[in-house]
Amino acid sequence: MGAGQSVRVEDKLYTLRWKHDRTTHIRITDPRVCADRCGDEWRRPCTTFCPAKVYEWDPEQARILVAYENCVECTTCLTGCPYRVIDWRPPRGGFGVQYRYG
Ligand code: SF4
Ligand code: SF4
């Protein structure tokens, strides 16, 4: 890669491998906050701060959908939710993302 070229997050994510657990390691403890308060006051920052796009607002169900399988364990959501309603735990042993150099 030449000088001045930037690395796209999508390209780096492609180098990762996951072993998916059937049990989520991410839970929204109070979904009402996402629906009632966070949209107007904060524009739901989880939908933008997560590099793996784990969080998506579903207007029909009026809740955040959590694609926990895509989590790269960056831990940003431990501090990124303004209402601290994201309960993020490290995936169970043996599960989660596996980092490779590439
Ligand atoms: S940032 Fe927190 S409160 Fe806001 S939508 Fe996401 S999980 Fe809900
Ligand atoms: S730990 Fe990082 S990658 Fe995983 S859900 Fe939170 S912000 Fe997204």
Could you read off the pLDDT of 52-89 as tens digits, one per residue? 999 999 999 999 999 999 999 999 999 999 999 999 99
Mean pLDDT value of segment 21-46: 95
Taking the C-alpha atoms of residue 79 and residue 88, their distance in angstroms, rounded to an integer, is 10
For residue 4, what pLDDT is reported? 58
- Report helix, strand or coil for 56: strand
- Report helix, strand or coil for 26: strand
What is the 27 CA–ligand 2 centroid distance (Å)? 12
**CATH architecture under which domain 18-91 falls:** 2-Layer Sandwich (3.30)
Ligand 2 pocket check for 97: Cβ under 6 Å: no
pLDDT tier at 13, thresholds 50, 70, 90: confident
Mean pLDDT value of segment 45-58: 97
What is the 36 CA–ligand 2 centroid distance (Å)? 23
With a threshold of 0.85, does the pTM exceed it? yes
User: What's the per-residue H, E or C state across 77-102?
Assistant: HHHHCCCCCEEECCCCCCCEEECCCC
Hey, which of 65, 68, 72 would you mutate to test ligand 2's pocket, going by the most ligand atoms within 8 Å of its Cβ? 72
pLDDT tier at 3, thresholds 50, 70, 90: low
Please tell me the residue having the least CA distance from ligand 2 atom 7: 50
Taking the C-alpha atoms of residue 34 and residue 41, their distance in angstroms, rounded to an integer, is 10
Per-domain boundaries in the chain: 18-91
Dihedrals phi, psi of 44, to nearest 5 degrees = 50, 70
33-68: buried (b, 16+ CB within 10 Å) or exposed (e) per residue? bbbeebeeeeebebbeebebebbebeeeeeebebeb
Taking the C-alpha atoms of residue 66 and residue 54, their distance in angstroms, rounded to an integer, is 6
For residue 17, what pLDDT is reported? 87
What is the 35 CA–ligand 1 centroid distance (Å)? 9
Ligand 2 pocket check for 68: Cβ under 6 Å: no
